[in-house]
Structure 1
Amino acid sequence: MQSEHPNFTPLLDTETLEPSDVVCPFYSPQFFNALHLAGCTGVEQGWQAAHFNYQQWILPGYFKQHSYGEYIFDWSIAQAVEQAGVNYYPKWVCQLPFTPISMSQPAFLRKQMPAQQQPTSLAELVAELLEQLAKRNVLTAQFLYPHASLAKQLAPLMLTRHSIQFYWQNQNYRDFKDYLDGLNQKRAKDVRRERRKVSEMGIECRWLNAEELTADAIKRFMPFYQRTYLKRSGHAGYLNQDFFLKWLLTFRDRVHLVEALKSGETVACALFIESNDELYGRYYGSYCETDFLHFEICYYQAIEYAIARKFTRVNPGVQGEHKVRRGFAPELTPSYYRYFNSSLERSIAAAFQQETRELRQYLNYLNQRLPFKASALSGD
C-alpha cells in the first residue's frame, strides 16, 4: 500500500536526527527503523510502516490490519463496524508501536530541505495527511498519545478519546526517605515493609549503565521479557532480541537494565530509558514469584534513581491501581480519531463521550486513594 504514494515510506532517514539530538530514545528514527529491520513490524505482522513525509516534516505511522499492540484498543468498534458490512481495516495509526507513552516531539524535522520548498506548519501537515488518507479510502486515522503541540492541531479536527496513565512526580525530594515522609503513615510503613521483605530474601538490585550494557546483558534480559508475555498473553512478546540489540546499543548512555540478584543469579530484570527529564520503566520479568520484587524494581528503585538524577517524573507503564497506592498519580491522556464516514463518526463520538465521563469518575476514585499527606499535596 505504501508504494502507491511516495509520501509514505517504510524507513526513516537516520540523518534526520542524530542520537544526541533525540529527546527520548523511544521517539527516534533508530527506534522505528530497528522495529522494521528486526521484523517486529511489517506486512506480515499487520504493522506496515508508512511514515508520512511532507515538506520539512516526517510523521511516523503505520497501515494496520488489526488493533494489537496499541494499549488503547478499538476492538469493539471494529467488530461493530465490520458486522455492519464496512471494512474497518486497514487503518492508519500514528503511535509508538507496542509502547503506550506520549510522544516527546510532534514530528521529526529534516535537517535540510530542498531550496525550493518552504517550511509548513503542523496544521498544514495534519491537513495534508488527512487529505492523502481520504483519497486512499482508509476508514480511520488515529493518533495515539501525540505530543501536546500536535494534539492542539488535532483536537478541532478529530474525535478525542481519553485513557489513563500513571506518573510519579518528583516534588524536589532530597532522597527516598524525604519521599516517604510525604506519604501517610500507613502507606509509608507498607513501603518500608515491602522493601525489607525483598532484602530479607537475600535479593540485591544492580543497575547496569552504559559500559555494562553489552550485547550479553541484553541477551540475559530477553528471557525475562518473554516470560512476562508468555504468562499474560501466551506468546513471547512483540519485540525480539535483534530489535533490542539494534536499539538499546545505539542509546546505551540513556538505557539501564536493572537486575535483581540472589546468590549471584539474576532472578528478575527490567529496562529503564532516560529522556531529558523523565524516566521510563518497561518490560519487567521475574522468575521469583513475589509482588514485592516487582514493586522494588519497577517503582522504588526507579523513584530512588529519579530523585538522585533529578528527573521530574517516572513513567512506569499503563494499568494497575497498585501504582496509585505507591504514589503514581493518574492522568487523563488524549488520543485522536478521524473516521472518514460522517454518520459512523457521529455514532463513535457519542461512545467516546460516554467513555470519557466514566473515566473521569474512575479518575476521581483513584485520586482519592493517593497515599500522600494533605500537607504534601498542598506543598506546605
Structure 2
Amino acid sequence: MGAHRYRLALALAQAPTMSTPLPTTLRILRSLTDIPRATWDALVDAQATPFLEWTFLTAMEESGCAVPARGWHPRHLTLWRGSRLVAAAPAYLKDDSDGEFVFDSPWATAAERAGLPYYPKLVLAVPFTPATGRRVLVAPGEDRAAREAELYAAAQEFARAERLSGIHVLFPTEEELPALVAQGFAVRLGVQYHWRNQGYRTLEDFLARFHAKRRNQLRRELRAPTEHGIEVRTLRGDALADADADTVYGLYATTVDKYPWGQRFLTPEFFARMLARFRHRCEWVEARREGRLVAGAFNFTGANVLYGRYWGCFEEHPFLHFNVCLYHPISEGITSGLERFEPGAGGEHKLTRGFEPRLTYSAHLLLHPGMDRAVRGFLAHERAAVEGSLPQWRAETGFKEGD
C-alpha cells in the first residue's frame, strides 16, 4: 500500500537558509513494507530491542497478527529531511486495547459512559510485546531531543486531524520520558520482574544469594526434570532448523487456550517467519522426555539481553515451567555473561526465583480535556500504590539481607 502522507509545519519548518537544515516532513505509512529494510534498520540501536527491527515488525503485519481485521491499523510515523529518514516510530490506530499489556479498558468504559468515544486511539508500540525499548528511533548524528519533540508534536497534530481520542506510548525507555512529559503526556508506572547478572561465575554463585530455606527449594526444583527423565536444551542459529514452526505455534496455543481470556494473537505464519528470517535473534528452549517433545519456550535475544516470550507444554511435569522458562536460561546466561533476562509481563512467582521488580513506563495524552484530567488523577493514585509496593516486592525475593 502507498504511504499516507501528511506534511506538517513542525518546529523547524521555516524556510531554510545556508545555516539552517532542511525542514522535516512527516509521512505516515500504512505498511512498513513501504520503506526499505536497510532504511528503517539504520535507525535501530542497542536501546531499541530486536522488536523494533524491520523484519520483526513486518512479520507482525504480513503474518496476519497486527492487521486491521484484528484491530491493528498500521500508521507508522516517519520524519524525513528530503529523501533521508531521520526519525521513526511504529504506530497503530487501535479499535480496542487487546495485545497492549498496558490495561486501559476501564478508561474506555468510563469514556463510553460519559458519551465520549475512546476508540480509535493511536498507540506507539510493538504489538503483543511488553518489552521496554525505544519508541522513537532517531538517525545517527541527529539531535535526538529535537527529533523526538517533532515526532510527538506531529503525532498530536495527526491525532487531532483524525479526531482520535488520544495517544498512548507503551513501554518507552526511562530516558524518553522527559521528552514525553514536555509534550504534555502523563506517565504511568508498571512493574515487571527481571533477572540481572551480578557478576555470577556459576549457577551456585546465584543460588548463594538466597537464604538457606529458599535455596534448598530452588535446588529441589532444579533437580525435577532430571528426576523425571527430561532433558532441557537451547537451540540457536542454524540449530533452529530443527525447530518446526507448527509445533512452536502448537505449544504457544496450549498456554493461551488454558485461560478464558486467552487469545491467539500470533499465527503459525509468524513463527515460520521468525525461524526463517529472524533466526539470529531467536532461541528455542525445548524439553524432551525419551526423545518426545513435552514443552518449550520461544525467546528472543538483544544486546546482551534475553527476552522470554512464548511458553507451552504438551505434558504437565513438576516444576518444568520454571526450568524451561527461568532456570535454564539463567544458567546459560551466567555461562555466556548475559547482562539481563526479561521474562515478560506478570508472574509474581518470579519474585521468589531471583527476579527483581523493575519499573516499566507508558505515557498517555487524552485529547478531551475532561477525560485527560480524569486519567491523570487515576495515574497519580496508581503511582503512589506502585511505588509503595516496591519495598514489599523486593523483600519477597528471598535474597539474604543486604543483597
TM-score under structure 2 length normalisation? 0.86
Equivalent position to 1:296, from 320, 323, 344: 323
Letter in 1 for 2:71: G
Alpha-carbon separation, structure 2, partners of 1:59 and 1:21: 11
User: Which residue does the alignment assign to 1:8?
Assistant: 28
> Once the 2 structures are TM-superposed, how far is the Cα of residue 252 of structure 1 from its aligned partner?
1.3
Closer, same or farther: CA 96–86 of 1 in aligned 2, 3 Å = same
Identity between Structure 1 and Structure 2 (%): 31
What are the within-5 Å matches in structure 2 for residues 149-160 of structure 1? 149-156=175-182, 157-160=184-187
- Tell me, yes or no, if structure 1 residue 44 matches structure 2 residue 76: no
- Tell me, yes or no, if structure 1 residue 63 matches structure 2 residue 88: no
Closer, same or farther: CA 260–356 of 1 in aligned 2, 3 Å = same
Runs of 5+ consecutive residues of structure 2 not aligned to the other structure: 7-26, 81-85
Contact persistence 2:305–2:339 (CA under 8 A): yes
Alpha-carbon separation, structure 2, partners of 1:179 and 1:221: 30
Equivalent position to 1:318, from 334, 339, 345: 345
Output one character per residue of 1:337-359: Cα deviation in whole Å (capped at 9) or x when no partner: 00111122111111111111122
- Tell me, yes or no, if structure 1 residue 108 matches structure 2 residue 126: no
Give me the CA root mean square deviation: 2.4
Output one character per residue of 1:210-242: Cα deviation in whole Å (capped at 9) or x when no partner: 112127533321110011011124666111111
Output one character per residue of 1:141-195: Cα deviation in whole Å (capped at 9) or x when no partner: 0001013343220023211111111101100100101111111111110110011
Closer, same or farther: CA 329–214 of 1 in aligned 2, 3 Å = same
Contact persistence 1:16–1:109 (CA under 8 A): no
Letter in 2 for 1:70: E
Alpha-carbon separation, structure 1, partners of 2:137 and 2:202: 36
Letter in 2 for 1:206: R
> Once the 2 structures are TM-superposed, how far is the Cα of residue 74 of structure 1 from its aligned partner?
0.6
Letter in 2 for 1:239: L
> Once the 2 structures are TM-superposed, how far is the Cα of residue 362 of structure 1 from its aligned partner?
2.6
Contact persistence 2:96–2:119 (CA under 8 A): yes
How many residues matched? 370
User: Which residue does the alignment assign to 1:30?
Assistant: 55
Provide the secondary structure at the position in 2 that maps to 1:70.
Answer: coil
Closer, same or farther: CA 61–173 of 1 in aligned 2, 3 Å = same
Output one character per residue of 1:228-262: Cα deviation in whole Å (capped at 9) or x when no partner: 01112466611111112223432312311011000
Alpha-carbon separation, structure 1, partners of 2:141 and 2:161: 29
What are the within-5 Å matches in structure 2 for residues 267-286 of structure 1? 267-286=294-313
TM-score under structure 1 length normalisation? 0.91
Output one character per residue of 1:55-103: Cα deviation in whole Å (capped at 9) or x when no partner: 2111101000000111111111101101111110000001111111101
- Tell me, yes or no, if structure 1 residue 146 matches structure 2 residue 169: no
User: Which residue does the alignment assign to 1:129?
Assistant: 155
Contact persistence 1:227–1:236 (CA under 8 A): no
Letter in 1 for 2:70: Q
User: Which residue does the alignment assign to 1:73?
Assistant: 103
> Once the 2 structures are TM-superposed, how far is the Cα of residue 110 of structure 1 from its aligned partner?
5.7
| RCO comparison, higher one (Cα < 8 Å, 6+) | 1
Equivalent position to 2:380, from 348, 353, 372: 353
Equivalent position to 1:199, from 206, 223, 226: 226
What are the within-5 Å matches in structure 2 for residues 240-255 of structure 1? 240-255=267-282
Contact persistence 1:16–1:108 (CA under 8 A): no
Letter in 1 for 2:136: A
User: Which residue does the alignment assign to 1:116?
Assistant: none
Alpha-carbon separation, structure 2, partners of 1:264 and 1:215: 13
